């Protein structure tokens, strides 16, 4: 090989190293967004380690000029061994050989991970099932990208895949744009494309001159794209947000009662901060739903009145005998994009809202047609009716002061809804006791809160058929409880409606003007029913088991006017409500424990990172150990008089340092090339050459020609000289991954050095 050829070979190998590193950097940039939805931990190191091992194995295999299929098989084998060792070693032979039990465990882990993703709130805990899915997916992505970039030479296609993967966490858990992460991803993609270009050989100088401007052009286009995305895009007009769609800059409120999708969203964010002078934090309502036509509850469509008008909130429906308490609540919207402003009930005044806002006198809600709650800060005055237990029992649930739509029942409503309502309330003698009997029945041990069961059972909705199915399965979330309660109340001739809003917040360590600040998260989006009582107004109830506080009124003889209904204050002011997201997490753990996965997830700790590194080092050292055993055997044979063994050890040493050993070359020509091109001492190689030539041309054709230890010692000296003649990186590679283990002297692959990787 001429010095020019050697220089080109060295540059090509350097280009392939740079290309491998650029692939790893791009994969790292695609993996980092996952940290937003899964708590960082050992799984992140494991994923990066697996990617590095796969890329290293691919690079090494291509140095030996192995076919592309063989390279992919080696990478896939390493991927399977790594996952088995880290996650499934208890079911494998020798910790790394998969068995039938190992294969059976894979779908169980994947199923558990999917359940956690569906039910959890971001950031999720890095459990064993989630880590298995993420690390395994990272390994597969590495294999695919390595093949597409290095073998198929299509870096643009690989870049599209990498960018797509990096967008998945942002789609699953919408949040503000991570500018630093985006820039890092863009830089690594450009680096990948540039590295792939440099790894190609340029046979003619003119071609180099023609393509000299390509990298600069690519970098220029990339820089412009980054500037446009980071600087210009945020300044462009944004699409208008619609309630409940999640298309706006923050979470919305779904008033169509498709709350299951919102509650199952993997990301939980703070939406509101509240402080109040009331004894405890009130529920915050956004809108009400009164019209029910059998398939869906419709939000009330009533004309709004300017907040400055005396008619904005209408009249309070209380009689003079009912005690009234007045409170003020301050609401700061942190991250909520909605046309409805959450307010306590019944609101009688709102101040501080920017834009065109109005109130709906019928249900005391606040809405807009052109603005949003995002970034708003406003103050709400509200007056709370506080009847005694005797007063509420004496009142009747009638609809003389409400719309007819609050009592309408579809003609095709399943009969079991009305039958169960009559059965549950049979012992009650007044409307209030009937409703509290329903409330106790729903909150009893027969029903369970679940965000998953409705989907599996096919009744993820609030229609009459969905309610009937819910009453059979008795598992669902707030929509099912509220819809079932409201429909059952109507079958008992009581006007009812559903409210969409937020549960009371949880306390923080902050306070303003002596008032503690409470935070409300997106997972606390809630639905609950209300029933109208003559002379009192709309009374909220809380049938959803595990959430909020059930409605109760105290006797006037013990605590006059005291009430503990969920829409009021005074009910366990120090209690912290359980959010739907918290409850869903508990239910998910119970479900996983039932199928045996949850317990395994909680009791099986992953192999410590030190153990993983140790195991990887042992695996990587196996080629070195195998080569050392073979070298000792050849050396022993050479000292016993086998000249062919001494010559073969020299040939294998040359193969290890990427020196061609073609079958067509005579031993003398090969020896001369080692002296002239690789600096081997002529005396040492001549000793080994003399031994092999005497054996080859001996009259008897025997392989033995006794030279004592001279041939073996000379072969050892040649091996040492060849190792010192190459760069340190090649020397380390020759020791750690000797090519001679799979490439034999005189074979096709031994006939040429691995100049470049295709």
pLDDT tens track for 210-255 = 444 444 444 444 444 444 444 444 443 333 333 333 333 446 676 6
pLDDT at position 569, please?
A: 37
**Token code pair at residue 467:** 């309610």
**Token code pair at residue 14:** 């350097």
What's the mean pLDDT in 141-152? 89
pLDDT at position 45, please?
A: 92
Domain contains 634: yes
* Pairing of β 297-299 and β 340-341: unpaired
> Are 344 and 310 contacting, i.e. CB atoms less than 8 angstroms apart?
no
pLDDT at position 122, please?
A: 60
| Residue from 547, 398, 412, 539 nearest 479 by CA | 547
| Domain closes at, from 201, 219, 245 | 201
Cis geometry, peptide bond prior to residue 242 (ω within 30 degrees of 0): no
One domain for residues 318 and 263: yes
One domain for residues 469 and 341: yes
pTM of whole model > 0.75? no
One domain for residues 390 and 525: yes
Distance, CA of 23 to CA of 189 (rounded, Å)? 9
Domain contains 249: no
| Residue from 446, 542, 430, 565 nearest 486 by CA | 542
Task: Compute the mean pLDDT over every residue in the chain, rounded to the nearest whole number.
Answer: 76
One domain for residues 570 and 717: no
Q: Who's near 249: CB < 8 A, 6+ residues apart?
A: 238, 241, 337, 374
Length of the chain equals 758
One domain for residues 327 and 436: yes
Q: Hey, which residues does 521 pair with through a beta bridge?
A: 270
| Domain closes at, from 576, 602, 636 | 576
Range from 360-364, 434-438, 510-514, 753-757 that averages highest in pLDDT: 434-438
One domain for residues 174 and 83: yes
**Token code pair at residue 68:** 């592309």
Q: Which residue has the higher pLDDT, 567 or 678?
A: 678
One domain for residues 264 and 402: yes
pLDDT at position 403, please?
A: 75
One domain for residues 510 and 366: yes
One domain for residues 473 and 568: yes
pLDDT tens track for 34-53 = 887 787 888 899 999 999 99
Distance, CA of 450 to CA of 267 (rounded, Å)? 18
Measured at the CA of 285, the angle between CA 467 and CA 274, to 5 degrees, comes to: 135
Would you give the distance in Å from CA 555 to the centre of its chain? Answer: 51
Domain contains 220: no
Q: Which residue has the higher pLDDT, 503 or 698?
A: 503
pLDDT at residue 372 greater than cutoff 50: yes
Residue 625 confidence class, pLDDT cut points 50, 70, 90 = confident
One domain for residues 485 and 537: yes
Range from 106-110, 237-241, 578-582, 638-642 that averages highest in pLDDT: 106-110
Domain contains 242: no
pLDDT at position 757, please?
A: 38
Share of the chain above pLDDT 70, in %: 74
pLDDT tens track for 158-184 = 888 888 888 777 665 555 567 788 888
pLDDT at residue 712 greater than cutoff 80: yes
One domain for residues 165 and 266: no
Domain contains 449: yes
Domain contains 594: no
The residue range of the domain holding 138 is 3-201
One domain for residues 559 and 659: no
pLDDT at position 436, please?
A: 92
| Domain closes at, from 151, 171, 201 | 201
Q: Which residue has the higher pLDDT, 622 or 648?
A: 648
Distance, CA of 26 to CA of 4 (rounded, Å)? 33
Would you give the distance in Å from CA 265 to the centre of its chain? Answer: 11
Sign of the Cα torsion 335, 341, 343, 345 reads negative
Domain contains 231: no
Residue 350 confidence class, pLDDT cut points 50, 70, 90 = very high
pLDDT at residue 575 greater than cutoff 80: no
CA dihedral of 258, 263, 266, 272, whole degrees rounded to 10? 110
Total domain count for the chain?
A: 3
Range from 69-73, 220-224, 228-232, 555-559 that averages highest in pLDDT: 69-73
Share of the chain above pLDDT 90, in %: 18
Does residue 364 come out as left (phi exceeding 0), alpha (psi in the -120 to 50 range) or beta? left
pLDDT at residue 423 greater than cutoff 60: yes
**Token code pair at residue 502:** 């937020």
Lowest-confidence segment of 322-326, 618-622, 666-670 by average pLDDT? 618-622
What DSSP element (H or E) covers 597? helix 597-603
pLDDT at position 213, please?
A: 44
Domain contains 234: no
């Amino acid at each position: 090989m001429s010095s020019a050829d050697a220089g080109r070979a060295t540059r090509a190998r350097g280009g392939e190293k740079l290309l491998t590193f650029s692939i790893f950097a791009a994969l790292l940039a695609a993996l980092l967004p996952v940290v937003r939805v899964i708590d960082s931990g050992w799984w992140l190191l494991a994923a990066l380690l697996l990617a590095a091992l796969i890329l290293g194995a691919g690079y090494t295999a291509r140095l030996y000029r192995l076919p592309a299929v063989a390279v992919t098989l080696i990478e896939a084998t390493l991927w399977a061994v790594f996952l088995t060792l880290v996650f499934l070693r208890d079911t494998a032979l020798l910790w790394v050989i998969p068995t039938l039990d190992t294969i059976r465990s894979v779908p169980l882990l994947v199923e558990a991970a999917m359940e956690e993703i569906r039910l959890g709130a971001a950031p999720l805990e890095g459990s064993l099932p989630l880590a298995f899915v993420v690390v395994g997916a990272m390994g597969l992505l590495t294999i695919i990208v390595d093949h597409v970039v290095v073998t198929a030479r299509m870096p643009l296609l690989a870049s599209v895949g990498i960018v797509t993967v990096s967008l998945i966490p942002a789609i699953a858990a919408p949040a503000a744009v991570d500018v630093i992460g985006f820039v890092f991803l863009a830089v690594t993609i450009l680096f990948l494309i540039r590295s792939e270009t440099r790894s190609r050989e340029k046979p003619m100088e003119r071609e180099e001159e023609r393509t000299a401007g390509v990298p600069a052009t690519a970098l220029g286009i990339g820089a412009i794209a980054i500037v446009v995305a980071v600087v210009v895009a945020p300044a462009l007009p944004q699409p208008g947000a619609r309630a409940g769609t999640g298309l706006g800059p923050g979470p919305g409120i779904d008033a169509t009662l498709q709350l299951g999708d919102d509650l199952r969203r993997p990301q939980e964010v703070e939406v509101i901060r509240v402080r109040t002078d009331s004894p405890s934090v009130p529920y915050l309502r956004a809108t009400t739903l009164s019209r029910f036509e059998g398939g869906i509850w419709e939000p009330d469509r009533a004309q709004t009145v300017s907040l400055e008008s005396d008619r904005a909130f209408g009249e309070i429906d209380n009689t003079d005998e009912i005690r009234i308490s007045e409170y003020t609540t301050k609401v700061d919207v942190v991250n909520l994009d909605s046309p409805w402003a959450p307010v306590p009930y019944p609101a009688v005044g709102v101040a501080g809202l920017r834009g065109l806002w109005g109130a709906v006198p019928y249900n005391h809600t606040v809405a807009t047609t052109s603005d949003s709650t995002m970034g708003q800060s406003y103050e709400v005055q509200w007056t709370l009716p506080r009847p005694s237990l005797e007063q509420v029992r004496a009142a009747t649930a009638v609809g003389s002061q409400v719309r007819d739509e609050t009592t309408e029942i579809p003609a095709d409503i399943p009969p079991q809804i009305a039958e169960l309502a009559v059965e549950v309330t049979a012992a009650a003698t007044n409307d209030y006791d009937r409703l509290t009997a329903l409330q106790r029945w729903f909150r009893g041990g027969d029903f369970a809160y679940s965000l998953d069961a409705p989907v599996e059972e096919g009744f993820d909705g609030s229609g009459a058929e969905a309610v009937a199915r819910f009453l059979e399965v008795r598992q669902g979330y707030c929509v099912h409880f509220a819809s079932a309660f409201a429909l059952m109340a109507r079958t008992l001739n009581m006007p009812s409606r559903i409210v969409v809003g937020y549960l009371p917040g949880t306390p923080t360590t902050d306070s303003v003007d002596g008032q503690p600040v409470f935070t409300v998260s997106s997972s606390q989006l809630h639905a609950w029913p209300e029933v109208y009582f003559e002379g009192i107004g709309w009374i909220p109830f809380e049938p959803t088991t595990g959430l909020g506080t059930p409605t109760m009124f105290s006797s006037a003889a013990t605590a006059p006017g005291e009430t503990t209904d969920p829409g009021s204050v005074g009910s366990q002011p120090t209690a912290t409500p359980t959010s739907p997201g918290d409850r869903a997490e508990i239910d998910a753990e119970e479900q996983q424990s039932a199928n045996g996965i949850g317990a395994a997830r909680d009791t099986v700790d992953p192999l410590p990172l030190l153990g993983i590194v140790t195991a990887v080092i042992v695996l990587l050292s196996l080629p070195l150990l195998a080569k050392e055993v073979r070298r000792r055997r050849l050396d022993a044979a050479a000292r016993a008089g086998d000249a062919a063994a001494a010559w073969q050890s020299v040939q294998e040493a040359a193969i290890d340092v990427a020196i061609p050993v073609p079958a067509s070359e005579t031993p003398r020509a090969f020896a001369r090339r080692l002296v002239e091109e690789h600096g081997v001492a002529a005396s040492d190689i001549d000793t080994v050459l003399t031994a092999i030539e005497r054996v080859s041309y001996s009259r008897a054709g025997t392989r033995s020609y006794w030279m004592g230890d001279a041939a073996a010692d000379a072969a050892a000296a040649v091996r040492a000289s060849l190792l010192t003649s190459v760069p340190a990186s090649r020397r380390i590679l020759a020791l750690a991954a000797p090519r001679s283990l799979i490439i034999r002297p005189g074979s096709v692959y031994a006939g040429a050095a691995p100049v470049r990787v295709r």
